[in-house]
Structures are given as C-alpha cells and as structure tokens.
Structure 1
Amino acid sequence: MRILFIDIDTLRADHLGSYGYLRETSPNIDDVAKEGIRFDNYYCSDAPCLPSRGALSTGKFGIKTGLVGHGGTTADMRIEGKNRDFQDKLAYMSLPALLKNIGFHTVTVSPFGERHSAWWFYAGFNEVYNPGKCGLERADEIVPSALEWLNKNAESDNWFLHVNVWDPHTPYRTPSDFGDPFENSSIPSWYNEELIKRHRKLAGPHTAQDLNMYDNREDPRFPRQPGEIKNMNDLKQLIDGYDTGIRYADFWIGKIIDVLKEKRVYENTAVIISADHGENIGELGIYAEHATADNITSRIPLIIKWPGGLKSHVHQGFLYNLDLISTLYEIFESEIKSKFSEEYIQMFKKEMDGISFADVIFKGENISRKYLILSQMAHVCQRSVRFEDWIYMRTYHDGYHLFPKEMLFNLKEDPHEQNDIAKESPEICREALSYLNE
C-alpha cells in the first residue's frame, strides 16, 4: 500500500475547479478528484495553521491538546505529565506514527515544524526533509525533494509521503517567469466597487486599507501582492496573486503525479489532497488572511483517491480534519490489531475525537456529524457552529475588527458572509448556542 498526502497551505475549497471555481486554477488536482471522492463539507476543527495541523496529527480538538493559537500558551501542546512513558503518546498515536507502527515507511517534506516550533509535528516520521525557509518556500523548493525520494522509492511498498506546499499563503511569491495565467480572466461576480468602498471604512488588520498585519506597505520582492485595496484593479491583483499561487502549486503537484504514473504505481497509490485552512478574500471585510472562525477560513478541500474506492463521488456530510486519523484506523484495523495490544486499541479509541468515514470512501455512505464546532484563537477569539445552511459565530475577542458578539449567516443564500442576520433570527441563534454549549 502506498499513500501520498498533498497538504496545501491556505487553500480555500471554492477556488478549485473541482469545487466549482470559474477559473482554471487546479487542472491536476481536478483530475485526481475525477478519480476519487470530493468532500464538500470538510472543516478544520481549529484554525489557523498550527491548531489545524495539531488536530490533524493527533485526532483531537484543540481544547484537549492545548493547541488553539499561534503564540503563548495557546501554541504549546499540553504535556502528558507524570504518566508519560519513555516515549510520549505521539510516538505511536499521531497520524504518521499510526502508519509507521504498522509497517509504513513515513516521510514528510515540510518546513511546518520549524515555522511554528511545532517539533511534535515530526513525531512518527522516518524521514524529514525541511527546506529551511520556514514556510516561505515556493513549490519548486519543496517538490524536488519529494520527486527525488519518489524516483528512488516509489516502486517500494508500504510508504506514506506527506508533501506540504505553501504557494497560496501570503506573500504571493510565484516566480515572475510563470506569468499571470489569469491576466485576462474575470474575478467572481460578487465583488464590486461599492463593496470596496464599504470595506475601506472597516477597522482592523488585514482589511482593505491595511492588507498587512500593521500597515499597507508594498514589498518590491512580492509584486503580485498589493498593500491595500483601493479599487477593482487592486482587488484583481490580489485575487490573481492568490489564484496564481494555487495554479503554481498544482503545476508541481502534476509533476508528482507524473512520477507515480511513470513508475506505474499511480493506480495502486492512495492520494489525499487537503489543506490546513482557507483564506478570506473580502469575506467579513478581511483580505488575504485566515483570521476568523468563519466558513471561508474553516472549510477546507478534501479529495481522496483510494484503490478500490469510489470514483467521481461527492460527499456532502459534515466532517472534521481530525476525523482522518480515525478513518485510517478503520481502513487498517486488521493490521493495527495484529501489531498492537488490546490496551492500546482501547486507549486509541478513548483518546480520539474523530469518527471514521471509511464507508464514504468505499461504499458512498452518508456519514455526517449533526453540526460542527469551529475555533479560531490566533487573530480573534471565536467559536462558531456550522449546521444545516447556517454558520453562527460567537466572538469573545474581536481582534480589533469590531465584530458584534453574535453573527449568523445563511450560507446557501449568502456564501460570502455579507449579510449578518443574527438580530432577525434569534431562534436560530439559540439553537446554535445550544450546540455550542453541549
């Protein structure tokens, strides 16, 4: 068995062709989607980068691991304390460790651990390739290490390769010789001059007047990214920069797929494509940042092509990224039971917060949570409830954005969160609060 996990930082699902985007940002990713399953309501439980990958790696909510933010105590994983063994639990209960301990050779090409001093992220990997630029790498500085490894090892059995690319993340740094694939493409129709005028009146970091955290300076090293949004030309420049980053990442992902096909192992390789979080580009008045617990930041793509799994299938059920490790557990349950004690198996089931969606992959079953609780603690302090057509957002600290205490959006009618209807919908807000307090 071979597993390739493509982990794309800052990738919002609705900017992929396979998710209905109007621009051709992702032809290679879309081809994989045709051969597998597209998950339409897949969310990171905890945003942004550090909390999200903490949940993915451990299968636990951030409120259990302690990983809910990007600094201070919110960025430190809780220690096990007096019950810690010679090795901690991550040595055999993280996602890569689970696979490693049943015979997979596990490899990551990622700067993530260094970027966030999140050294726990490397637990369970046999090999770690860190390009050393702390997440400022382009795909051409990440993928060649993966290609070199695959050229040597693709035909071997039982490997798990995690490849982490960062091109959609600011600063938008796709090399100039890649050109502008979207120079003559229109932007989504919901953007207009009136929206920009309204957003330029808003306060806070990463708003139309200050795209950076603290100012609106432009960096000559990154000409694809404006310092502020004054007009539609600036907005198009920003969207083009983001979408070109996706297209560049997709271009290099295609090279990985090509090697698997050249080695004649693609058909029998599981391919997982996902992200840590999305990116607001005007939603809630925030641009080029993943700063809230809203639908745009928290919803992430998930595409799975699995040998023996369904093809061209779309799953609508609500799921978390932390459900993936429980899914892998079910898929490899017989191997796990042959390698681990009953004590370990019971401890794993007790520790994990996830549910398995293996039967979605192989049978197309409608597995779904009733609602999702979404967290953001890096830029603001928010917890949200995603249920039915709604997202309800509760703000505890507004990050200087002057958000109201409660916000409610009907995502079916208002996917870009422009019309807060919390005041007009008290009963729906009360229902959401009941879920939040469970």
Structure 2
Amino acid sequence: MRILYIDIDSQRPDHLGCYGYHRNTSPAIDQIASEGIVFDNCYTPDAPCLPSRTAFYSGRFGIQTGVVGHGGTAAQPKIEGPTRGFRDHFDWKGLGGRLQRCGYHTAMISPFGQRHAAWHFYAGFNEIHNTGQGGMESAEVVQPVVDQWMNENAKKDQWYLHINYWDPHTPYRTPTDYENIFANEPLPAWLSDDVIQANKQKVGPHCAHEVNMYTGTGNPKFPKQPGKATTPEEVRQVIDGYDLGVRYVDDQVAKIVSDLKAAGVYDDTMIIISADHGENLGELGLYGEHGTADDITCRIPLIIKYPGGAQGIHNTKFHYNLDLAPTLMDLIDGKKQDLWDGVSYAEAITKGEDIGREEVTISQCCHVAQRSVRWDRWLYMRTYHCGFHLFPQEMLFDLKTDPHEQNNLASQKPELCYQGQWRLSRWHDAQMQKMALTSNDVVDPLWTVIKEGGPFHASLTCGRPGRLGFDHYMEYLEVTDRKDGAEALRNKYATELNKFKS
C-alpha cells in the first residue's frame, strides 16, 4: 500500500468545506473527504509546531519527550541516558522508523527539521527534500518538488510520503496575482462588529493592534498580511489572507490527485490530510497565531481515504494526532511500541465504527503555559503563564453553544471546573507514573518552561520580547489606548521585572 500524508501548517478544520465552512476553500480536499472519513474531533496534544510534530512522529506526549516549547530546554528532547542504544527512541520506536521496518520507503518534502533544529523529525526517513526556506516557502516552491517525486515514484509500491505545505501560516504569502475569490463573500458570522471592537481592548502578542506579535507594523513583502485587525476591513484582510492560503494549498492537492490518477494508483493509495495545529482568527483576542491550549489552536483536521475502507462518514469521538502511529501499524500488520501513548482507531477506518477516546488533554507552552481538557461539550483551560494576555487561571467554555470561546463560564459553573481540574490531575498522575518507569528523569517540562522565564514567545529572559522589549511593548499599549492593560501587566509580572531590570 502507498501512504500519502499531506501536512497543512496552521489548518483549522472549520475553514474547510467538509467541516461545514461557508466559503469554497477546499473543493479538492472535500472530494477526498467524500471518499473517506472525516474525523470531527482530532487534536494535537501539544501545540504548536515543534511540540505537535514531535508528538506525532514519536507517538508520545510532550510531557514524556520533553518537547513542549520553541526555545530553551523544552525545545530539546529529553536525554535518554544510560539506556540509550546505538539508535535512539525517535528512530527505533518512532513512526518513521517503524514504517521503514515494515518495508516502506519513507520520504519527506519539508524544511521543518531545519526550521526548528528538530533533527529528530527526520528520524526513520530514507529520503528528505528540504525545500530550503525554513517554512517561508509558498506552494509554488514546494509543488515542483512534489511533482517530480510523483513522476519518479508514484507507481512504486510500499512508500510513505510526507508533504508539508505552509500557505495558511502567517505571513500570508499567496502570489500577488492569485485572485481573491473571497473578496465579496461574508466574514464568518461570529466575527461581529461588537467582537471586533471588544478585541481591540485586549492585550498580548498577536492581538488586534499587534498582529505581527508585538507591533502593528505590516511588511510590504507580504501585502496580504495586515499589521492590525482593529477594523472590519482589517479583519477581513486577515480572514481572506488565511482562506486564500487554504485554497492555494487545495489547488496543489488537486494536482496531486491528478498525478496519482495518471499513474493509475489513486484508488490504491491511502491519503491522510491533517495539520500540526489550528489558528486563532479572533478567538480569545488573537489573530493569525496558534497561541493557546484551546479548541481553536489544538483541534486539527483529520481526513483519511483508505483503499476499501469506509466512505462518506464522520467520526465523532476524540482522537490525538499521535493515535495515527498505532493505527497505521494495525493497518499494515506492524508492531506497536510500548512507549507510544496512542490508541489505534483502525476499525473506524476499515469498518466505519464510531470509536475513539472520551476526552483529550491538550497543552501549549510556546506562547502561553496552559493545559486544558476537552470532554463532552466542555473545554476547561488552566493557565500557568498568561503570555502577557492576562488570561485568568481558569476558563471554561461550552463549545456546543459557543464554539469560538466568547463566554468564559468558569465563575458560573464551578462544579465543571472542579471536574476539569480532576480530569487534568488524573491525566497528569498517569503521565508522571509512566515517566517514573520509562524516562531518565521525572521532570514535567511545563515547569521547566516556567523556571526558565516563561514561554519562549512571551519571555522576559531568554525568549522574546525580553526585558527591554517588554518595556517598549508597555509603551505601545499606552499609545494604543490600553493603559489599563499595561498597568495590569506590570503589576502581574512585578517580581520578574524587578529581578530582570532593563
């Protein structure tokens, strides 16, 4: 069997037609979805990019691998110590290595390992094509490499190919002559004038006044990427820029389908379409970022077309991206690994059974330090470092009635907060017990992030903006009519500010 994994960076499920989006962003992906299964509730356990893809290929939670951040100690895998053999866990017990040992030729078209110095990302791959721009390449750079690979290899058997597209990720970079087919279409209905106005008062990187992290300055190299989202017109530019990136990738998916059909192997190829994480597009006040441990950042698309498998259905249960590793082993008679945290859902693919987990725990330690749990209709979020957003310690959302997380119910439903905290504690206890038996240490990397000064993208010490940058940002808040926010942040981080004086 041939296995094609299409990895669309920052792809939200709800901006694809097969997940109900009102704009025509994904006709090619939607057609594949109609021939397979759409998984409604798949999540990355660790967001964003580096933690997510590490979890995916290792088959393990970030709390186990140690990779939960974008910088500092928590961006490096834990040292295996005296039990490390000639090859490490990422090779011998990672998904890529297991596919190799099942007779698959593993190939990857992605610059990601170099982008994040994540050399473990390449473990188990026979063939690596680094497209060379560190994630800044648009599809017109990636697609010629894909076309050549398909021309040379599509007809062969027993291959696994990972293709990485970047266009929905900021900065929005579709070619200048790529027509904006969404220019006259409505924005998502939830982005009302009231929401846009309320978001203008929020503080923190990637908020309405600082879409580019800590400033509102745009970049003339990327005219489709606004520096601010303080007016309906600017918010439209954000949404249109994102959706055009989705549609541009979909054009490439259509080309891949054409290549597979021309080679006569489309029907015999397993196609998986997914992402590393989603994208905040106004939720919790953030625009153009994957910065929280919530449904918006951590829920990802998962679409699987399997030869001879179920077609045209939705799976409603909860899944992690790392559940794919044991699932593939079940489908190809491979060996599952004792270190893996994943659970196979092979019968969902082969028989269409609505199987999966009853809850998932999700984490973010790059932009904030948060852990959350998703069950039934509820999302409970617990914040350990707010990333300069002034998030409260607890948030609770009813995603059935409030999918865009506008109404924090924590104060109204304390009994559900107690339940959410119990679920988090139960998960954490299980992870620490496993770590004590299988790891070289018993360190929860979330607390390493806190110890080293907070998440890399909101740090006074080794990350950004740094101590001096924080002062500049407070001045920016004041000149953008958010003096109260600046004062609240100075008070909240007074101890750290005194410790790391500029």
Check conservation: 1:143, 1:163, Cα contact below 8 A: no
- The letter for the 1-side match of 2:369 is C
* Cα distance per residue 1:67-123 (max 9 Å; x no partner): 111110110011211111111122222112111111111100001001000011001
Following superposition, the deviation at residue 366 of structure 1 comes to 2.4
**C-alpha distance in 2, partners of 1:234/1:201?**
16
Following superposition, the deviation at residue 358 of structure 1 comes to 0.1
Residue in 2 that maps onto 1:373: 361
Are 1:409 and 2:397 an aligned pair? Answer: yes
Following superposition, the deviation at residue 384 of structure 1 comes to 0.3
Residue in 1 that maps onto 2:388: 400
Residue in 1 that maps onto 2:196: 196
> Residue 5 of structure 1: SS of its match in structure 2?
strand
- The letter for the 1-side match of 2:210 is D
Are 1:363 and 2:351 an aligned pair? Answer: yes
Check conservation: 2:131, 2:142, Cα contact below 8 A: yes
Unaligned runs of 5+ in 1: 337-344
Following superposition, the deviation at residue 230 of structure 1 comes to 2.2
Q: Which one is further off, 39-48 or 188-197?
A: 188-197
> Residue 25 of structure 1: SS of its match in structure 2?
coil
The equivalences for 1:16-31 within 5 A come to 16-31=16-31
**C-alpha distance in 1, partners of 2:256/2:301?**
19
* Cα distance per residue 1:114-160 (max 9 Å; x no partner): 10000110011110000110000101111211110110111111011
Are 1:155 and 2:155 an aligned pair? Answer: yes
- The letter for the 2-side match of 1:353 is D
* Cα distance per residue 1:163-213 (max 9 Å; x no partner): 000000000000011111211111111112221211111111100111111
Following superposition, the deviation at residue 8 of structure 1 comes to 0.4
The equivalences for 1:74-153 within 5 A come to 74-153=74-153
- The letter for the 2-side match of 1:215 is T
* Cα distance per residue 1:266-285 (max 9 Å; x no partner): 00000000000000011011
Higher relative contact order (CA 8 A, sep 6+): 1
Residue in 2 that maps onto 1:299: 299
Check conservation: 1:57, 1:322, Cα contact below 8 A: yes
* Cα distance per residue 1:413-435 (max 9 Å; x no partner): 00000000000001111111111
**C-alpha distance in 2, partners of 1:61/1:71?**
18
Query: RMSD over aligned Cα, in angstroms?
Result: 0.9
Check conservation: 2:47, 2:363, Cα contact below 8 A: yes
TM-score, structure 1 length as denominator? Answer: 0.96
**C-alpha distance in 2, partners of 1:169/1:36?**
26
Q: Which one is further off, 224-233 or 316-325?
A: 224-233
Residue in 2 that maps onto 1:339: none
Check conservation: 2:292, 2:370, Cα contact below 8 A: yes
Following superposition, the deviation at residue 370 of structure 1 comes to 1.9
**C-alpha distance in 1, partners of 2:268/2:229?**
47
**C-alpha distance in 1, partners of 2:195/2:188?**
13
Match of 1:386 among 374, 377, 402: 374
* Cα distance per residue 1:326-353 (max 9 Å; x no partner): 10111122xx3xxxxxxxx5xx542110
> Residue 128 of structure 1: SS of its match in structure 2?
strand
Unaligned runs of 5+ in 2: 427-502
Following superposition, the deviation at residue 367 of structure 1 comes to 1.6
User: Which runs of 4 or more aligned residues in structure 1 lie more than 3 Å from their structure 2 counterparts after TM superposition?
Assistant: none
Identity fraction in percent:
53
Check conservation: 2:107, 2:160, Cα contact below 8 A: yes
Residue in 2 that maps onto 1:436: 424
Are 1:212 and 2:212 an aligned pair? Answer: yes
Following superposition, the deviation at residue 23 of structure 1 comes to 0.2
Check conservation: 2:93, 2:337, Cα contact below 8 A: no
The equivalences for 1:244-393 within 5 A come to 244-333=244-333, 336=334, 348-393=336-381
**C-alpha distance in 2, partners of 1:329/1:294?**
29
**C-alpha distance in 2, partners of 1:350/1:86?**
19
Residue in 2 that maps onto 1:10: 10
Q: Which one is further off, 384-393 or 136-145?
A: 136-145
Check conservation: 1:92, 1:101, Cα contact below 8 A: no
Following superposition, the deviation at residue 295 of structure 1 comes to 0.4
**C-alpha distance in 2, partners of 1:171/1:191?**
21
- The letter for the 2-side match of 1:214 is Y
Check conservation: 1:38, 1:313, Cα contact below 8 A: yes
> Residue 322 of structure 1: SS of its match in structure 2?
helix
> Residue 54 of structure 2: SS of its match in structure 1?
helix
Check conservation: 2:379, 2:398, Cα contact below 8 A: yes
Residue in 2 that maps onto 1:424: 412
Check conservation: 1:271, 1:305, Cα contact below 8 A: yes
> Residue 160 of structure 1: SS of its match in structure 2?
strand
> Residue 6 of structure 1: SS of its match in structure 2?
strand
> Residue 185 of structure 2: SS of its match in structure 1?
coil
Q: Which one is further off, 83-92 or 73-82?
A: 83-92
Following superposition, the deviation at residue 229 of structure 1 comes to 1.4
Following superposition, the deviation at residue 24 of structure 1 comes to 0.4
- The letter for the 1-side match of 2:372 is S
Residue in 1 that maps onto 2:232: 232
**C-alpha distance in 2, partners of 1:104/1:230?**
50
Check conservation: 1:105, 1:158, Cα contact below 8 A: yes
